Amino acid sequence: MTTLPRPALLLLLLGLSTSALAKAPDTVNIGYQKANIFALLKYRGTLDESLKKDGIAVRWVEFPAGPQMLEGLNVGSIDLAATGDAPPAFAQAAQADLVYLGHSPANPKTEAIVVPENSPVKKVADLKGKRVGLNKGSDVNYLLVKALEEAGLSYKDITPVYLPPADARAAFQRGAIDAWVIWDPYLAEVETNAKAREIRNAEGLVPHYTFYLASRKFAEGAPETATRVLDELGKLSTWANAHPDDAAGILSTSTGLDKAIWQKAIARAPYGAERMTPDVFNQQQALADTFTRIGLLPVKVDVSSATWSQDKK
């Protein structure tokens, strides 16, 4: 006969779940990038105020990009993060023990393939044999593969030039690459300041989400706190969608980019925080399978293995 621990036995006798044993943490460690929704949440201060009432502090940790942030999640230096579609698939391939808490609305207009204003390249098919700059293993890597396939080309028909956004922007400016696949706010900046011309965005190809992620240890150990953070992201999204100029001002201060650039980016990126669904998991699985097929992921990833237990009930 299995003997239950006394606290669990007491809860069982009271008709309560053992999840009631979960204890709120003293501190929630959140990773953010200067341009993402957690930066907006940080500068608004609403999450800090809400959790402070219950004696929970928020520690904000800045990262340069999603992959580094998810490595921080994996080693336990942060509890929560927000990234685009690709980084969590790569993190799962590296055995990171994370869960998907939720996601933003799809925002396919916020990433695109662009060329210089006077480029002879008019459509994706014209990229055959061209040098295309992009961040390796990023969301736009997925867009590029799908756009090439739509145009009857394969990934082998172009020469990918793997560069982080700042280096790719410089290469684009001096003509070292023929096209650049990039996301907002960099997309809005190069359209505004370099008159870059869009030849294909993600509409009709890939959904492009922001995912809200947590370490499994945090999500399962403090589910009520994780849910509260997701709720605060929802409230923030409602505010940002109703006050785009104010949100643009905050993100302009955070990133150093002109407010007008952020106004352009926000206009095509509705904010939101929704719980995961089987359909969104299937879309994320399609992304992971694509990266495995073209050799960027060394193993097949089962995206659904990162389902939060709260969504299984």
* pTM metric for this prediction: 0.89
CA atoms within 13 A on the CB side of 69: 28
CATH architecture assigned to 108-201: 3-Layer(aba) Sandwich (3.40)
| 289 C-beta neighbours (distance < 10 Å), count | 14
Please give the structure tokens belonging to residue 272: 């939101």
User: Which secondary-structure segment (H or E) carries 113?
Assistant: strand 111-115
Residue 312: per-residue pLDDT:
77
Q: Cβ neighbours of residue 272 under 8 Å, at least 6 residues apart?
A: 104, 105, 234, 237, 241
pLDDT exceeds cutoff 50 at 190: yes
**3-class DSSP state for residue 165?**
helix
Q: What are the angstrom distances between the C-alpha of 53 and each of 25, 73, 276?
A: 13, 26, 28
Tell me if domain 23-107+209-311 and domain 108-201 are identical in fold: yes
CA–CA gap between residue 3 and residue 22 (Å, rounded)? 20
Neighbours of 234 (CB within 10 A): 16
Q: What is the DSSP string of 73-109?
A: HHHTS-SEEEE-SHHHHHHHHTT--EEEEEEPPP-GG
Look up residue 234 and give its two tokens. Answer: 């929802």
Q: How many CA atoms lie within 13 A of 150 on its CB side?
A: 15
Closest CA to 171 of 120, 126, 115: 115
Distance CA 213, CA 219 (A): 9
- For the chain, what is the mean pLDDT? 92
Tell me: the pLDDT tens digits for 234-277? 999 999 999 999 999 999 999 999 999 999 999 999 999 999 99
Instruction: Output the six-digit token pair for 271.
Output: 């904010």
Query: The domain 23-107+209-311 belongs to what CATH superfamily?
Result: Periplasmic binding protein-like II (3.40.190.10)
Bridge partners for 182 per DSSP: 112
Sign of CA dihedral 90, 240, 268, 180: negative
Number of Cβ within 10 Å of residue 113's Cβ equals 27
Model confidence band, residue 68 (pLDDT cutoffs 50, 70, 90):
confident
DSSP states of 137-153? TSHHHHHHHHHHHHTT-
Percent of the chain with pLDDT over 70: 93
Report whether pLDDT(289) > 50: yes
Q: Which two tokens stand for residue 159?
A: 């020469």
pLDDT tens digits for range 24-46: 899 999 999 999 999 999 999 99
Distance CA 200, CA 112 (A): 6
Distance of CA 165 to the CA centre of its chain: 16
What strands lie across the sheet with 159-162, from one edge to the other? 159-162, 131-134, 179-183, 111-115, 197-201
CB-side neighbour CA atoms (13 Å) of 251 = 27
pLDDT, position 5: 44
Say whether pLDDT at 225 is over 70: yes
What are the domain boundaries of the chain?
A: 23-107+209-311, 108-201
Q: Residue 164's Cα: distance from chain center in Å?
A: 16
pLDDT in tens, 78-108: 999 999 999 999 999 999 999 999 999 999 9
